[in-house]
């Protein structure tokens, strides 16, 4: 879970190398992680691009229809740029640790946090002169990143960090250029960015969850989280648009459209289940199911012991 302070921070305060017990890389977590590879999307990205806000909003709208209780996080000044449905839970980076959201069935990191570097340098200077003055800790602050200005690299060339991902078909891994800083500033930056994203995902408690948590990292910041699928932002946006557009174009009552949006594509159900789920009459459900079956959105998969028809959503 790693809810402790950065080891170098502890060393600065107490003047000795901290002992770290445990290895979280071997812990099995009940989650499926999808991560984009084509943008970090820090707060300034949204300030300078209404188009980017619209693309993220498309994914948010889809997620609020697709999941019962999606959890979203972004920088505090970024969250107000989006609209969320009533079933959504929102938190901002920097205010997450210690919170429990184990009722949430999906996690969406809307971009990545980026702490103010001068503030981190001040913190590093204070920590390096802590109780143990001769602790030999380097304040640092030299930037290594792919950041460019007018096409020119404005920092030291970036290092590459391996994503916790392996392509199932080719058995290839994937490395990404990362933004880092030297010394204690770099340690604090990692804690405020990469580690903050990891802590956000852990708010849903995937280690102890009985159901699989779907995780979407809408940033290419490399963390220690295992990644199951990599994609690009535009691909996710088009998938979200396609799902919404397909449902909107169905020749069925609006109530049937809302019903199909609320169903899990992997589960099976009977008409009576749908009556309880939608809180409408049996006749209404019967009409909706008939319409959805005509559109080949729902299909029968068998019968219960009492010979009630078992249905499922066609994927």
Question: Is the Cβ–Cβ distance between 241 and 56 less than 8 Å?
Answer: no
pLDDT at 143 over 50: yes
Q: Supply the pLDDT for residue 1.
A: 44
pLDDT in tens, 84-107: 999 999 999 998 888 899 999 999
Q: How far apart are the first and last CA of the chain?
A: 35
**132 — pLDDT class (breaks 50, 70, 90):** very low
pLDDT in tens, 2-50: 455 555 555 555 455 555 555 555 568 899 999 999 889 998 889 878 8
**129 — pLDDT class (breaks 50, 70, 90):** confident
pLDDT in tens, 222-250: 999 999 999 999 999 988 887 665 677 77
**131 — pLDDT class (breaks 50, 70, 90):** very low
Residue entry with tokens 């779907």: 214
**147 — pLDDT class (breaks 50, 70, 90):** confident
Q: Supply the pLDDT for residue 54.
A: 92
Quickly count: other Cβ atoms within 10 Å of residue 20's Cβ. 10
Residue entry with tokens 């429990």: 100
pLDDT at 179 over 70: yes
Measured distance CA(77)–CA(61) in Å, rounded: 20
Domains of the chain are 7-238 (3.40.50), 251-313 (1.10.10.10)
Mean pLDDT value across the chain = 85
Q: Supply the pLDDT for residue 250.
A: 78
Burial bucket for residue 90 (CB in 10 Å: 0-12, 13-18, 19+) = middle
Q: Supply the pLDDT for residue 240.
A: 86
Q: Supply the pLDDT for residue 284.
A: 93
Average the pLDDT over each of 122-126, 207-211, 292-296 and give the range with the smallest value. 292-296
Q: Supply the pLDDT for residue 266.
A: 66
Measured distance CA(215)–CA(222) in Å, rounded: 14
């Amino acid at each position: 879970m790693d809810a402790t302070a950065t080891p170098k921070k502890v060393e600065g305060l107490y003047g000795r190398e901290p002992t770290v017990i445990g290895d979280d890389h071997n812990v099995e977590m009940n989650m499926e992680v999808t991560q984009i590879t084509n943008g970090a999307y820090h707060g300034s990205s949204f300030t300078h691009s209404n188009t980017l806000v619209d693309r993220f909003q498309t994914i948010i709208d889809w997620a609020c229809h697709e999941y019962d209780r999606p959890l979203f996080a972004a920088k505090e000044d970024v969250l107000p740029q989006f609209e969320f449905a009533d079933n959504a839970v929102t938190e901002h980076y920097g205010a997450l640790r210690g919170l429990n959201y184990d009722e949430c069935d999906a996690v969406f990191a809307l971009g990545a946090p980026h702490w103010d570097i001068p503030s981190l340098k001040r913190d590093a200077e204070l920590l390096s002169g802590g109780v143990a003055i001769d602790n030999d800790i380097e304040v640092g602050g030299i930037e290594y990143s792919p950041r460019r200005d007018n096409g020119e690299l404005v920092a030291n060339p970036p290092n590459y960090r391996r994503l916790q991902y392996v392509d199932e078909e080719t058995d290839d891994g994937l490395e990404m250029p990362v933004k880092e800083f030297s010394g204690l500033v770099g340690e604090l930056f990692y804690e405020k960015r990469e580690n903050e994203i990891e802590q956000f995902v852990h708010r849903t408690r995937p280690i102890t969850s009985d159901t699989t948590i779907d995780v979407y990292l809408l940033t290419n910041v490399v963390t220690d989280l295992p990644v199951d699928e990599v994609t690009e932002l535009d691909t996710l946006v088009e998938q979200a648009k396609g799902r919404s557009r397909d449902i909107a174009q169905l020749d069925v009552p609006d109530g049937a459209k809302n019903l199909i949006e609320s169903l899990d594509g992997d589960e099976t159900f009977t008409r009576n289940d749908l009556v309880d789920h939608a809180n409408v009459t049996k006749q209404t459900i019967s009409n909706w199911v008939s319409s959805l079956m005509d559109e080949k959105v729902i299909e029968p998969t068998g019968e219960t012991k009492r010979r009630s028809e078992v249905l499922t959503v066609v994927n």
